[in-house]
């Protein structure tokens, strides 16, 4: 089996909030780079990369350039291909655009493998569970008014979600008292039995994280995420030591090695792995196994339609972030029922690019 060609596109999707009908926030669009790898015998694998931002055209170009290097290679030799690409771009890496580009290619290769074997990605990775918990993300963000949150949270519960994420480190003129009040009111709105998660997005200093983190301990957050700079492992460890609430982190880490340093520093209690930044499915599974050896649970970041396979496949998989940013790329995505996602059984990723998304292609 041989790779015949790789084609990629930049797709600029409008950013909306469909889970509880919130207004657009943060930015108006997200730019994804989508790719197709075609084999000489007509099998097509698809992949997606993200985080290019203003450099999305550059990310596309990186995928095209790396793609040229693997024409003629056997797509089933995934580790051989990703190693070849890491070596080819080594001096431009290890993180950043190089890793984002390889992640999309790695994904498409796994999609091809699944289609060749007639197995879903989850099945290929071990098929541990056929459904996984998922949490609503993006619907209770700091940009929204408290009034909106108090209406949106019960709506998510009506939709069957048992886990949902909000944010603190409020914009504008905030105080610890304002942060605590908002946390308490959101907890009251969802009741004691919902897993309420909270993202700080690296906006607190270490002392602030300890101070406000202690004040909100009786809110019983399921986790506090990225409480300070994502790579301040010793700072994170001080916060983790000071609080009962578990800390989650890892979405900003590129490749596998930084996870070793984060775990060795006891910086977080829950490992969050981003499929694009870690370098694709192959690397994602390596980090998940590393976390397992340290008795740490793993959660996903973005791309729930692909992460559902990965979280289902590992014994330490905790929950899938149900963040809808990428949904318009695909014909059909897994839909939560009673707070769970059923792992798709179709071969490979089980996804098809949407024809409707053609109108969002920019290059």
d(CA 89, CA 93): 6
Smallest gap from Cβ 224 to Mg ion, in A, equals 11
Closer by beta carbon to Mg ion, 179 or else 199: 199
- Nearest C-alpha neighbor of 6 from the set 102, 79, 86, 118: 102
Q: Is the Cβ of residue 197 or residue 206 nearer to Mg ion in the bound state?
A: 197
Nearer to Mg ion, 199 or 305 (CB): 199
Q: Which two tokens stand for residue 60?
A: 């596309």
- With CA atoms as reference, report the closest residue to 78 among 47, 106, 45: 106
Helix (H, G, I), strand (E, B) or coil at 45: strand
- Measured torsion, CA atoms of residues 223, 273, 199, 324, in degrees rounded to the nearest 10: -120
Quick one: CA dihedral 98, 247, 270, 219, positive or negative?
negative
199/340 with CB nearer Mg ion: 199
State both tokens at 51.
């985080």
Q: How far is the CB of 226 from Mg ion (least distance, A)?
A: 5
Pick from 44, 106, 195, 199: which binds Mg ion (CB under 5 A)?
Answer: 199
State in angstroms the smallest separation of the CB of 167 from Mg ion.
Answer: 9
Is 274 a binder of Mg ion (CB under 5 A)? no
Interface mask toward Mg ion for 154-193; x: CB under 5 A: ----------------------------------------
CB of 251 to Mg ion, least distance (A): 5
In the chain, which ranges are E strands? 3-14, 29-39, 44-49, 131-140, 163-167, 195-199, 223-225, 247-249, 270-274, 298-301, 317-322, 340-342
Q: Which is nearer to Mg ion, 111 or 199 (CB)?
A: 199
Cβ distance to Mg ion smaller for residue 60 or 277 = 277
Is 299 strand, coil or helix? strand
Ranges within 46-85 binding Mg ion (CB under 5 A): none
Stretch that binds Mg ion, among 16-24, 60-68, 142-150, 196-204 (CB under 5 A): 196-204
Distance CA(324)–CA(158), nearest Å, equals 18
Restricting to residues 204-243, name those near Mg ion by CB under 5 A: 225
Q: In angstroms, give the least distance from the CB of 157 to Mg ion.
A: 22
Q: Which two tokens stand for residue 231?
A: 């790579």
- Return the range that interacts with Mg ion (CB under 5 A); candidates 103-111, 128-136, 197-205, 253-261: 197-205
**In angstroms, what is the minimal distance from the CB of 219 to Mg ion?**
18
Both tokens of 214, joined, read: 């202690």
> In angstroms, what is the C-alpha Rg of the chain?
20
> CA–CA separation, 99 vs 49, rounded Å?
10
| Distance in angstroms (rounded) separating the CA atoms of residues 190 and 317 | 24
Nearest residue (CB) to Mg ion, 3 versus 271: 271
The least distance separating Mg ion from the CB of residue 147, rounded to whole angstroms, comes to 24
| Binding segment toward Mg ion, per CB under 5 A, in 67-75, 194-202, 257-265, 291-299 | 194-202
How many residues bind Mg ion, per CB under 5 A? 2
Q: Which is nearer to Mg ion, 123 or 141 (CB)?
A: 141
Please give the backbone phi and psi of residue 40, each rounded to the nearest 5 degrees, phi first.
-65, -25
Distance (Å, rounded) from C-alpha 33 to C-alpha 60? Answer: 6
Q: In the complex, what is the shortest distance from the CB of residue 270 to Mg ion, in angstroms, rounded to a whole number?
A: 11
Nearer to Mg ion, 100 or 268 (CB): 268
Contact residues for Mg ion (CB under 5 A)?
199, 225
């Amino acid at each position: 089996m041989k790779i015949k060609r790789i084609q990629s596109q930049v797709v600029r999707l409008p950013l909306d909030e469909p889970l509880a009908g919130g207004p657009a926030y943060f930015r108006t669009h997200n730019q994804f780079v989508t790719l197709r790898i075609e084999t000489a015998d007509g099998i097509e694998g698809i992949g997606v990369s993200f985080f290019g931002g203003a450099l999305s055209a550059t990310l596309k170009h990186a995928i095209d350039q790396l793609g040229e290097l693997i024409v003629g290679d056997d797509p089933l030799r995934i580790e051989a291909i990703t190693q070849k690409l890491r070596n080819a771009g080594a001096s431009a890496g290890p993180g950043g655009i190089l890793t984002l580009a390889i992640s999309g290619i790695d994904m498409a290769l796994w999609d091809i493998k699944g289609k060749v074997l007639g197995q879903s990605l989850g099945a290929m990775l071990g098929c541990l569970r056929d459904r996984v918990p998922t949490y609503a993300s993006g619907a209770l963000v700091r940009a929204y008014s408290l009034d909106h949150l108090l209406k949106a949270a019960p709506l998510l519960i009506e939709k069957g979600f048992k886990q949902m994420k909000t944010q603190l480190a409020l914009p504008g003129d905030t105080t610890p008292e304002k942060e605590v009040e908002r946390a308490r009111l959101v907890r009251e709105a969802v009741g004691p039995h919902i897993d309420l998660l909270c993202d700080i997005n690296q906006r607190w200093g270490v002392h602030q994280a300890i101070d406000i983190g202690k004040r909100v301990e009786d809110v019983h957050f399921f986790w506090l995420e990225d409480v300070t700079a994502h790579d301040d492992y010793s700072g994170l460890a001080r916060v983790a030591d000071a609080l009962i609430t578990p800390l989650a982190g890892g979405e900003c880490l590129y490749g596998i090695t930084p996870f070793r340093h984060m775990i060795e520093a006891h910086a977080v209690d829950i490992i969050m792995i981003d499929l694009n930044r870690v370098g694709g499915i192959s690397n994602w599974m390596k980090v998940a196994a590393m976390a397992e050896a340290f008795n740490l649970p793993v959660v996903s970041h973005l791309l729930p339609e692909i992460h559902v396979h990965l979280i289902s496949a590992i014994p330490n998989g905790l929950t899938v972030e149900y963040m809808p940013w990428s949904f318009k790329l695909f014909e059909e995505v897994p839909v939560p029922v009673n707070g769970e996602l059923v792992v798709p059984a179709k071969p490979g990723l089980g996804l098809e690019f949407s024809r409707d998304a053609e109108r969002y292609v920019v290059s």
